[in-house]
Structure 1
Amino acid sequence: MNLTERTEITRQIAVEAGQLARDYFRQIDTLKIEKKGHQDFVSAADREVEVLVRRRLAEHFPEDAIVGEEHAPTEGSSGFTWVIDPIDGTTNFVNAIPAWVVVIAGVKNGQTCIGVIHDPCHDETFVAVRGEGARLNGHPISVPRDLTLRDGSVAVGHSNRIASEATARLVAAILNAGGLFHRNASGALSLAYVAAGRLLGYSEAHMNAWDCLAGQLLVAEAGGKVEAQDADQMIANGGRVIVGAPRVFDDLVRLYEAALVPSPSE
């Protein structure tokens, strides 16, 4: 089965999973919610949606490995690994904010080959295939090639692995450089918005693979700039994520690296 065929099946699985998640979202007042850590929630919806995605992937690709946020990894023999976030933006989800997505990425030989991000609340499906471009609901998308930091908004994620002061410095630096900052509490959705040209860039000090691999491929295939990373290493350890439009990326890296230098009092 070629990548295009795999991708279409993945898209269908993401849409089906999104329908299930949306059903839970409509009954949010009755949903059991647990707190894993500071601003880190998990619900029955997260677990059940991941079970559905895993089951569908296993039906179509029984020899592939599967890694997800909420359940233990499943080993495979094909060399192909599926990476799942059943609901990215769970804090939004549990607070009835319609800014969350289903995320599925396909990885082989250290490269993300397939990226699908489905937004059920707005009926938007972002799809990328390595070497074949990026699409939104079947239509090609691209990042703006001529816009600078002063021409739009940059999304900023926050990781509990760094001091909050560092994130605040980055936000201030973006504002001082003439840009605007945006945060919607879903890293995957923000990355999809960069690919679609709605945002000019995104940065976060540490993301897990299920949050970022699909979105990074979307940005790259839409003509944006993405830091080179080994997808297998990201699956194992996670890492920093910086992406941007061509004339924004270098400035965002510079601002990010300056902001994360700790002050003497930290």
Structure 2
Amino acid sequence: MTMVNPGTTSPETSLDKRFALAKTLAQEASAMALDYFNRRDTLVIETKRDMQDVVSIADRNVEKVIRDRVAAMLPEDGFLGEEFGHTEGDSGYTWVVDPIDGTAPFVNGIPSWCVSIAVVHGGEPVIGVISAPCQNELYAAALGNGAKLNGRVLTLDPSRTMQNALTGIGSNSHVSPETVADIVKRLLAAGGNMIRNGSGALMLAYVAAGRLVGYYEPYIHAWDCLAGCCLVKEAGGWYHPFPVDGDKLTKGAPVVAGGPGVRADLERLAGLA
């Protein structure tokens, strides 16, 4: 008879435990962020790389709450957050968190921001949870479990293409204005149209929900996109592999993700085909 050590857990149990925690933390953190949003006029706003790259005490405090809870409940896990950097772990799981993705919309009173929580394991994001409290929406996905929006299963429609739907485009000061202008020009020339709402994570969630057919940003950080990539994949879409091994996790890279009907056009737009 095979004996089972009660102190060990299966990979599925480990994933389920972290998935449940990620959903709880996303909801708690987004409630805290929403409170800050509703009194944003009292916040001191600072700049980072440039005048468009902003941060507030809301970003820092929300990340600290998530980071502290993970450390208390899963001290063996690693953690990478936008505001406080990378802490190594030894479990093979790393949490990748943007406490408020879309800080520029946030501080300007625009509701297109979210809390983004991913968990990476085995070289890929295996959990993706995005909470958009202004819309009362919780997007949640885990490897092999599908993607849901407020409990409703998300399934992408292959008939939606670049030509009959909207494509999200991201930009920032890491990429030249000429490069972004060329991307938009080529998208329009291919019969598509674009939208940018200031939050890469939220636009990826919209791809998973079928609101956008795809998303492309030439340079983005892991905390802005890994949760959304997991959502898109589990909804039946695809994403171009994003580097997560070693110190690559802390570096920027392109993100390209979409539904099944846009892959060829989107890869061409991103220079991957």
TM-score, structure 2 length as denominator?
Answer: 0.91
Which residue is equivalent to 1:42? 55
Structure 2 counterpart SS, 1:160: coil
Which residue is equivalent to 2:194? 181
Structure 1 counterpart SS, 2:61: helix
1:120-139 equivalences under 5 Å are 120-139=133-152
1:90 aligned partner, one-letter code? T
Distance 1:81 1:223 in 2: 24
With 174-183 and 184-193 compared, the bigger mean Cα shift is at: 174-183
1:33 aligned partner, one-letter code? I
Pairing partner for 1:190 from 203, 211, 222: 203
1:93-104 equivalences under 5 Å are 93-104=106-117
1:68 aligns with 2:91: no
Which residue is equivalent to 2:153? 140
Alpha-carbon distance, 1:4 to partner: 2.0
Which residue is equivalent to 2:3? none
C-alpha contact 1:159 1:205 (8 A) present in aligned 2: no
1:205 aligns with 2:218: yes
Pairing partner for 1:85 from 92, 98, 102: 98
Distance 1:37 1:74 in 2: 22
1:151 aligns with 2:164: yes
Structure 1 counterpart SS, 2:271: helix
Q: How many residues align?
A: 258
Q: Unpaired runs of 5+ in structure 2?
A: 1-12
Structure 2 counterpart SS, 1:257: coil
1:2 aligned partner, one-letter code? S
Q: Unpaired runs of 5+ in structure 1?
A: 259-266
1:9 aligns with 2:21: yes
Which residue is equivalent to 2:9? none
**% same residue:** 47
Alpha-carbon distance, 1:112 to partner: 1.0
1:26 aligns with 2:42: no
1:181-260 equivalences under 5 Å are 181-232=194-245, 234-257=248-271
Deviations 1:78-115 (A, max 9, x none): 12111110000000001010110001111112121111
TM-score, structure 1 length as denominator?
Answer: 0.93
RMSD across aligned C-alpha pairs, in angstroms?
Answer: 1.4
Deviations 1:136-176 (A, max 9, x none): 11111022211221111000001322211111111122112
C-alpha contact 2:242 2:255 (8 A) present in aligned 1: no
C-alpha contact 1:219 1:226 (8 A) present in aligned 2: yes
Which residue is equivalent to 2:132? 119
